[in-house]
Amino acid sequence: MSSLLRVGRNPTGRDLVVGDVHGHLAQLQRQLDDLRFNPQSDRLFFLGDIVDRGPDSGVLLEMVDQRTYFSVLGNHEAMMIAGYESPGSAGLHRANGGEWFYRLPDEERQQCVAAARRWPWAIEVDTGFGRAGLVHANVPDSSWIELLRQLRAMDRHWRSGAPLTERAVAFAAQNILWKRTLILHFYGKVLESGAVRQKLEDYLESFGVGEEWKVPATAEQLEPFRIAGIDRVYMGHTYVPTAIRVGKCHFLDSYREEPGDALSLVCINR
């Protein structure tokens, strides 16, 4: 499969996007049940990092079929791949919740890696009223066009089995799977305003975790979040206290197993 997957419009049901699940299938299932998710008509899109930390990493990997349950590659799946293909790098994965993987028989580990290697690094979804981009961590230079350029540069190498250390692959991985440029700009340049921070605290007190909060920012503050070449972008990777919308960017990594926590699950086609 190409590193970019384009998905057509869903004519019969909802398209839901969920932030980093990290092995917590029970929490995901509870929230899908609350939403009356119907796999016959609805589709679920993961933003990567479905593995590690929680008890159900293997089951979640098996769920992804890129037909009803879609996922982009996250940095935790990348660590899993690297830990298997280059055992010297396994320590990083083990230290970040990956111990479950190294307890599996070799054949099962090989299957997990082969499955994740087939996942796209970015997904574009036709929502019926624009294109939604899904990517794990970041959009380089606030440009979906630049993201696609980097994917094209590495795609042939990745599909032929190149390691994550190959030059073009490593460059794209750092910019798309690991970097936190956009979310750190939100924390450092937007949320630093006492007024904005207070509005977020008021919102959480009134609505709780899980609802998406639209950031009341100035035009200047919003500039880095006006992503070129796409209508909106959904990302995970970095913790936010609830789903956050700022400009064209939606940040959805909100679950840490703390009391009151919930996965951020948003519908993108209604």
197: confidence class by pLDDT, cuts 50, 70, 90? confident
Q: Which of 47-61, 111-125, 137-151, 183-197 has the least mean pLDDT?
A: 183-197
Strand locations in 23-121 (E): 43-46, 69-71
Whole-number Å distance between alpha carbons of 213 and 246 = 9
Superfamily of the domain at 4-267: Metallo-dependent phosphatases (3.60.21.10)
| Separation between Cα atoms, residue 235 and residue 249, nearest integer Å | 8
Cβ-based neighbours of 187, under 8 Å, separated by 6 or more: none
Q: Residue 139: is it exposed, middle or buried by C-beta count within 10 angstroms (0-12/13-18/19+)?
A: buried
Four-point Cα dihedral 228, 230, 234, 240, nearest 10: 30
- Residue 31's CB is within 10 A of a number of other CB atoms, namely 18
pLDDT averaged over the chain? 95
Cut 0.75: pTM above it: yes
- Catalytic (active-site) positions: 76
pLDDT tens by residue, 119-176: 999 999 999 999 999 999 999 999 999 999 999 999 999 999 999 999 999 999 999 9
Phi, then psi, of 4 in degrees rounded to 5: -120, 130
Question: Which letter, b or e, does each residue of 205-225 get, where b requires 16 or more Cβ atoms within 10 Å of its Cβ?
Answer: eeeebbebbebebeeebeebb
Looking at residue 234, its pLDDT comes to 98
pLDDT score, position 210: 61
Tell whether the model's pLDDT for residue 211 goes beyond 80. no
Domain extents in the chain: 4-267
Residue 228 · residue 144 · CB < 8 Å: yes
